A and B are shown apart, each in its own frame.
Chain A
Amino acid sequence: MSTNENTAPRRGKAPAGERVADWADGRLGIYSLAKTNMRKIFPDHWSFMLGEVCMYSFIILILTGVYLTLFFHPSMNEVEYHGSYIPLQGQMMSEAFNSTLHISFDVRGGLLIRQIHHWAALIFLAGMFVHMMRVFFTGAFRKPREVNWIFGFLLFVLGMFTGFTGYSLPDDLLSGTGVRFMEGAILSVPIVGTYLSFFLFGGEFPGGDFVARFYSVHILLLPGIMLGLMVGHLILVFYHKHTQFAGPGKTNNNVVGMPLLPVYMAKAGGFFFLVFGVITAIAAIASINPIWSMGPYRPDQVSTGAQPDWYMGFSEGLIRAMPGWEINLWGHTLVLGVFIPLVIFPLVLVAIAVYPFIESWVTGDKREHHILDRPRNAPTRTAFGAAWISWYFVLMIAGGNDLWATHFHLSINAITWFVRVAFFVVPVLTFIATKRICLGLQRRDKDKVLHGRESGIIKRLPHGEFIEVHEPLSQEALHTLTAHEQYKPVEIGPTVDENGVERKVKGSEKLRAKLSEAYYGDESQIPKPTVEEYKEITSGHGHH
C-alpha cells in the first residue's frame, strides 16, 4: 500500500477498496456498524474460548454435513449390496445403509468427511457441556445473562437430539437398536404412547419412513433452529459484553482486554483453523461408528455393547439402572421400568437449567454482574454444580455398565446396584465434600491475605524460636483475593409490629429465608478479611 496519497491532496479516483467500502456503506451502513463493533473489547482467558470451540465444531459440522448429503440416500428401500466391502456382499439392506457404505468405501474422501462429521459432533457436545459448566461455576449466568444461559441450554439439548437423529440415519444395527430404544420409551407413555409411536414411524416399527423423516429433522429443522439460537447467543454476547474475572483495574462497568479487530479476529480466525485441524487429525487417526462392522439394521438382531453416543449415555443409564417394574391393570400394561426413566430424563437436564433462577430468587439480587465469581467464593453454587455433574456421571456409569463389568472384572449386577444407590447418595456426598473444599479454600485465601505467602524461608529468632517468613502479597493479589462480594442471609424480620399486630409470613418467604441461611449463613462462607483486620495484623508486630 502506498502512503503518499494520504499526505498529498488526492487527484483522480479513490483506491478501489475504499470505493467498494463506500458503495457498501451507502447501502448497508457498515461504517457505523464497524465503528461500534470493530473495537469491541474481549477479555483474555482460555476458558472464554470454550464457546468458540463449540461454534467452530458447529461450522465444521455444517460444512462436512453438506458434503455428506451429496451422497447419502435417505431411503429405506431394500437393496442388495454390491460395493467394495467384502463381508457384506449380497446382503439385503436399506438404501440409507448402502449409501453410507458407499460414502465410506467408494466416495473420494468420504470416510474422512464422515469421521470428521461424527467426531466433530462428539466434540461439539462435549465442548458445550464444558462451556456450560464454565458459565455455571463462574456465575456468568447472572443478570443480565439469564436469557443467554437458556439459549445455550437449548443449544445443548437440541444438539443432543440432532446428534441422535444423525447417528440413526445410516440405519445400521447399532443405531437401529437406539431407535428401537426410543420407540420403547415412547410406547411406555400411558394412553398416547402407541399413537405417538405409530405417528412417528408411520405405522409399526420400524416401517419404511423413519430414515427420511429423521433426515429432514437432522439436516433442516434442528440445525436451522440451532443456527438461529447460536446467532442470538452471539448477538447477546456482543450486547452484554463479555464477563471478566476480578482483578486490578477490572470493574463491573468496564471490560479489560483486546479489541476485536485486529487482535481477536486474528486469534479467533486462527483458532478456527486449529480446531478444524485437531478434529481432522483425530478423524484421520481414529475410527468412529464403523457401520460396516455393525451390519444393516434388522429388528430381529441385536448386539451387546449397544450404547448411544456419549451425550445420550445418561438416558441409557437411567434405563439400565431402573428396576423393571410394571403394573398390569384391566388388560393394560404400565411399564414403569421405562416410563419413570423417561420422566427423569428431562428432569436431569432441567435441574441444571433452572438453577440460575433459583439462585437469583434466593439472593434477591437484581443488579447486573459482569465480574465472574471464583467457584470457591460461591460454595453452595459450586457444590450444587459438582453434585449435578456427579449425578450425570453416575448415570453414565450405568449406561456403560457392561463395559465396566468386562474391563474391571466386576459383576454387572453389582454395578447396577451400586448405581441405584449412588443415584441418590453420590450427589449428596459430592455436595457436602465440595462445599467443605470451597470453605477450606476460602480460609486459605483469607490466611494468605492476612499473613502473606509462605516463602519457605525458615528464620531463627535470637531467643531460639524458628519461624517461617511470610511474604506479604502484592496490592494486585490482595485486590483479586478480596474483590468478591459476600451476601448476608435474608431475614424475615420481625413478625410482630410495634403495635403487637402479627404479620402473616408466606411459606415461600420462610423457604427463601431458610435457603438464604443455607447459602450465606456462618456455615456456608468464611467472612473475608476486613481492612481493619489487615491493618491490625500488618501494623507493628510484623511476623505471622
Chain B
Amino acid sequence: MKKLSARRRHPLAAVVVLLLALAATGGLYATLAPASQAKADDTAQSLAIDEGKKLYSVGCATCHGTGGQGSSDGPSLVGVGAAAVDFQVGTGRMPAQQPGAQIPRKKVIYTQAQIDQLAAYIASLGAGPSIPTKAEYGPDGADIAKGGELFRTNCAQCHNFTGKGGALTHGKFAPSLEGVAPKHIYEAMQTGPQNMPSFPDTTLTEQNKKDIIAYLNAVNGGNTESPGGLELGGLGPVSEGLFAWIFGLGALIAVAVWVAARTAKAKKS
C-alpha cells in the first residue's frame, strides 16, 4: 500500500485511474448489456428500413416527400408509426389512386413483407404506435356486450349500429366495417386514419379495443346470423320502407289486379 500511496502524486497517476475506470465501465457494460441480441436485430431492422426506404421512394415519396416530411399533396409521416402504415397500405388505401374527399379502400398491391418494410422505415422517422400483435386484437378474453356498449358510445354515430357505415360531410364517409380484418380495426382506432378521430390507449384501453373488435365480429362478421330474415342492408327504416313499398304493396297490388280480373260470370237462366 505504501508503494501505491507514495506514487499517488505521480504525473501519470490521473491517466492510470482514468484508464482503470474506463476499463471497469466498459467491462461491466460488455458483460451486462444484452449485446449479441441487440446486434443481430439491429441488422435486420436496418435492412428492413433500407428496403422500406426504397419502396417508399417509388410508391409514396411523390406526395409525402422524399423524407416523409409531407407536401401539399400528402401529410407528413413523421411520428405516424408503423400501425398507420400497416392500416393504410394493408387495406389498399395507400398508395392513393387520386386525391378526393376520402381515399377509398381498394385492392392491396404490396405483400405483407413489403408493408412491414415500409412500416419499419416510417417508424424510423419518429416514434409512433406499432403494429398490434394477435394477443392485442384477438378474441381471447373479450367481453362482447361491453364492446357493443363501447361501440354505440364511440363509433355508431358515424359507422351505424353494427358498422354498416354512414355519410360524413362533403362526400366523406365512415366506411362499412364488414370484412375488415381485426388487426386493421385495431390500427384504425389507434391511429385515426383520414377523417376518423384516433382513440389512443388513454381513451380506449387495449381491452376496450379488443371488446369492440369482438362485438363487431359477433354482429357484423362472417358468421353473424340475422334472426329475422333478410337484413336489407342493416340500414334501418329507409331500406325497410323501400322494401315495404316495392315488395309489400307491390305484391298486394298485383294480387288485387289478379282478384279483380277474375270476376263472376253472369249466368243465363
**Interface of A with B (CB < 8 Å)?**
44-50, 52-53, 81, 86-91, 104-105, 111, 115, 119, 122-123, 126-127, 130, 173-174, 258, 263, 267, 270-271, 274-275, 278-279, 282-290, 292-295, 298, 300-310, 313, 399-403, 405-406, 409-414
Contact = CB atoms under 8 A, between A and B. Distances in A.
B217 to A, nearest CB: 10
Main secondary structure of the interface of A (DSSP, over half): helix
Given A87-B144, A87-B219, A278-B251, A302 B230 contact: no
A258 B236 CA distance: 44
B236 A306 contact: yes
B25 interface: no
B235 A267 contact: no
Contact of A304 (B101, B159, B249, B252): B159
A310 B144 contact: no
Nearest to A281: B251
B72 to A, nearest CB: 23
Contacts of B244: 119, 122-123, 126, 282, 310
Interface string B196-219: 000000000000000000010011
6 contacts: A270-B259, A292-B227, A295-B152, A307-B236, A310-B244, A313-B241
Given A126-B248, A271-B256, A278-B252, 18 more contacts: A46-B259, A46-B260, A87-B215, A123-B248, A173-B152, A267-B259, A274-B259, A285-B230, A287-B229, A287-B230, A293-B161, A305-B238, A309-B237, A313-B237, A313-B238, A406-B166, A412-B170, A414-B171
B29 interface: no
A263 B265 CA distance: 10
B231 interface: yes
A284 B229 contact: yes
Interface in B228-261: 228-232, 234-245, 247-249, 251-253, 255-257, 259-261
Interface of B: 101, 144-146, 148-149, 152-153, 156-162, 164-171, 173-174, 215, 218-219, 226-232, 234-245, 247-249, 251-253, 255-257, 259-261, 263-264
A19 B18 CA distance: 131
Contacts of A87: 144-145, 148, 215, 218-219
B167 A286 contact: no
Nearest to B171: A411
A304 B166 contact: yes
Main secondary structure of the interface of B (DSSP, over half): helix
Given A293-B162, A400-B238, A46 B171 contact: no
A79 to B, nearest CB: 14
A406 B260 contact: no
Given A91-B145, A279-B248, A287-B227, A309 B167 contact: no
Given A115-B228, A122-B248, A295-B148, A271 B259 contact: yes
B237 A302 contact: no
Nearest to A118: B240
A409 B100 CA distance: 12
Contact of B161 (A258, A294, A298, A399): A294
A413 B169 contact: yes
Given A46-B256, A122-B248, A412-B168, A173 B161 contact: yes
A53 B164 CA distance: 34
Nearest to B231: A287
A89 B145 contact: yes
A130 B168 contact: no
Contacts of A126: 244-245, 248-249
Given A287-B226, A295-B149, A410-B171, A303 B161 contact: yes
Contacts of B256: 46-47, 49-50, 52-53, 271
A301 B152 contact: yes
Interface centre among B144, B148, B153 (most CB of A within 10 A): B148
A287 B243 CA distance: 10
B230 A403 contact: no
B1 to A, nearest CB: 76
Given A288-B228, A304-B157, A403-B238, A123 B252 contact: yes
Nearest to B252: A53
Interchain residue pairs A-B with the least CB separation, the first 10:
A310-B241, A287-B228, A304-B166, A122-B244, A402-B167, A405-B167, A46-B260, A303-B156, A411-B171, A49-B256
